[in-house]
Chains A and B, each alone.
Chain A
Amino acid sequence: MKKPQLFTFPDQNLLGEAPLSKTLSWLVALMVALMALALLFAVAVHQRAVFLHGQLADRLTVQIIEADPASRDRQKDTAVAILQTLPSVKSVHALSQQELEKLVEPWLGPDAESEITLPALVDFTILPHGNRQLIAEKIHRVAPSASLDDHGSSGAALLAFLDLVTGLLWGVIFSIAIATIAIIALAVRSAVNSCQDKIILLSLLGAERSRIAGLFRYKTGYAVLKGSIVGSGIAVLSAILCIRLLVALPTPILHSDNINFLPLFFIAFLPMVAVIIGVMTAHIIVLRMVEKK
């Protein structure tokens, strides 16, 4: 009994049973799954890098380490006042005692404040081209115990690493795409070779070259479509599983409110892209082979 087909087209049986290698669909499924996963991973890493860059870049913290609470508070207030007057500073936020205690609680426990002296912290953000050196000098003049942490420069190495990973992933995606095209091309070439007699017969019966190429276009497109739908499905399910596991971690690497699910929709276009690549490859190869006959 014949297996029902997902899609039919008028000439699908003109060449008899599918002349294409039956493994083509599975190879395409594997390649598309790898490509889709690499694509999702690349987009996720890029999103994370952008998010971290937004968090760290142009963000600085004044840290006032002073044993005397009165002097520490005075220096903090003066630093806040100075920062608020500077045009290159966008926002200033002095951390309250409760915020400080919450920050150190995971490391020092709930009663740390009574045992050790905590520094005063003032978070502020500057405009993209704000002069950090000038700001540091002005703060030092009014708060000699202050030191300045530039989160942008301390996170630069991490951001550079994430950029490198993203670049490498794009390289992997490109390589997989080339390998997919090569696999499709080899499978179609092998199918065309196995159908040489039929191709010559069709040509002698008066079939135009584009008509013969068209038969292979249909067959290739169908095989690639089946494979790429399966591959995309595997990739999407794997991605959803990964995201669920990452969100459920005790110290979440991803916060669910930071996840952008838009890239998952791009995966839906991969089968179409794969079919276009497959159909074009088949068309070119068959035309070239028919021309030689």
Chain B
Amino acid sequence: MSAIVQFDHVHFAYNAGTDILSDLNLTFLPGQFYFVTGASGAGKTSLLKMIYLALRPYRGTVRIFGEDIMTLPERYIPALRQRIGIVFQDFRLIPELNVFDNIALPLRLDRKKESFIRSTVGRILMQIDLPDKAFHFPETLSGGEQQRIAIARALIRRPEILVADEPTGNIDVGLATSILHLLSALSKRGMTVIMATHDTHLLDRVPGARHIRLGKKGRVESVALLDQWSPVK
């Protein structure tokens, strides 16, 4: 199986001389669920940002869908990003737009027909169990509801890769588990899910997931296959 994301000897630093990621080598395969863990500052978010092309390494090679992002012309980046769904740690919902319009944003950027947008957003609102909140504004919703809207927006295009930065960081255990079930189901249907988390208790909730542990300077400490299922406590 060919890699959907490939890191080869990747070095990254925000400031010269202070590497966040150092000689990182990783392979992400299609349809797999990946947990990325590590201490604060281990480079989890930088790794995710590189996958959604918000950062570029100063050395090494990153290939997304087989494309080397170092040599990829700027004009091809939007098309690549359209194949990646992103769930941000801070949700990044547009406060002036209601729930429906926030979720519909990627489709509107793609200039999809309004009838298609209505049916697709309606369906995903049912999936995240918020059909009655379509015309509410984000500030009136709880953290968990906002998180679900952010996930819905990331999934609305049916991306090939879903990158999620601490998607369960602001929600209760029950909701976190249901979100993990949703993401797990999506990965079983062929979507690659890459989720950064500091909460190692979540790892045993997704059987078959792979666990990448980052150590100092973003070096990979271990990659493990998680095949033990632990029920919700």
Contacts and interface: CB of A to CB of B under 8 A. Distances in A.
A68 interface: no
B146 to A, nearest CB: 14
Interface string B10-39: 000000000000000000000000000000
Interface in B101-128: 101, 105-106, 108-110
A201 B78 contact: no
A277 B109 CA distance: 26
Contacts of B84: 206
Given A204-B81, A205-B105, A205-B109, A16 B97 contact: yes
Interface string A177-211: 00000000000000000000110011111111101
Nearest to A208: B78
A289 to B, nearest CB: 14
Contacts of A175: none
Nearest to A16: B96
B109 A207 contact: yes
Interface residues of A, number: 18
Nearest to A198: B94
A192 B193 CA distance: 33
A206 B92 contact: no
B3 interface: no
Interface residues of B, number: 23
A14 to B, nearest CB: 6
Contacts of A204: 52, 54, 81, 86
Contacts of B78: 203, 206-209
B95 interface: yes
A14 B108 contact: yes
A197 B157 CA distance: 21
Identify whether the interface residues of A are mostly helix, strand, loop, or mixed. Answer: loop
A209 B75 CA distance: 9
B65 to A, nearest CB: 13
Interface in A1-57: 11, 13-17
B95 A16 contact: yes
Interface in A223-277: none
Contacts of B108: 11, 14
A201 B109 contact: no
A206 B82 contact: yes
B97 A206 contact: no
Contacts of B106: 205-206
A13 B54 contact: no
A198 B102 CA distance: 12
A13 B97 contact: yes
B79 interface: yes
A55 B95 CA distance: 68
Contact of B109 (A13, A202, A209): A202
Contacts of B75: 208
A206 B79 contact: yes
Given A204-B54, A206-B81, A16 B94 contact: yes
A15 B78 CA distance: 18
A78 to B, nearest CB: 88
Nearest to B157: A206
Nearest to B111: A10
A157 B94 CA distance: 65
Interface string A96-140: 000000000000000000000000000000000000000000000
A52 to B, nearest CB: 59
Given A197-B92, A204-B86, A206-B106, A13 B81 contact: no
B200 to A, nearest CB: 28
A75 to B, nearest CB: 88
A204 B86 CA distance: 8
A201 B105 CA distance: 10
Contacts of A203: 78, 81
A175 B94 CA distance: 39
B96 A211 contact: no
A204 B84 CA distance: 9
Interface in B145-167: 153, 157
Contacts of A209: 78
Contacts of A15: 94, 96
A16 B78 CA distance: 22
Contacts of A16: 94-97
| Complex A-B, nearest 8 residue pairs according to Cβ-Cβ distance, in ascending order | A16-B96, A206-B82, A206-B81, A208-B78, A207-B109, A206-B78, A17-B96, A205-B106
Given A205-B86, A206-B79, A211-B109, 5 more contacts: A16-B94, A16-B97, A203-B78, A203-B81, A204-B81
26 contacts: A11-B108, A14-B105, A14-B108, A15-B94, A16-B96, A17-B96, A197-B92, A198-B94, A201-B92, A201-B94, A202-B105, A202-B109, A203-B78, A204-B54, A205-B82, A205-B109, A205-B153, A206-B81, A206-B82, A206-B106, A206-B110, A206-B157, A207-B78, A208-B75, A209-B78, A211-B109
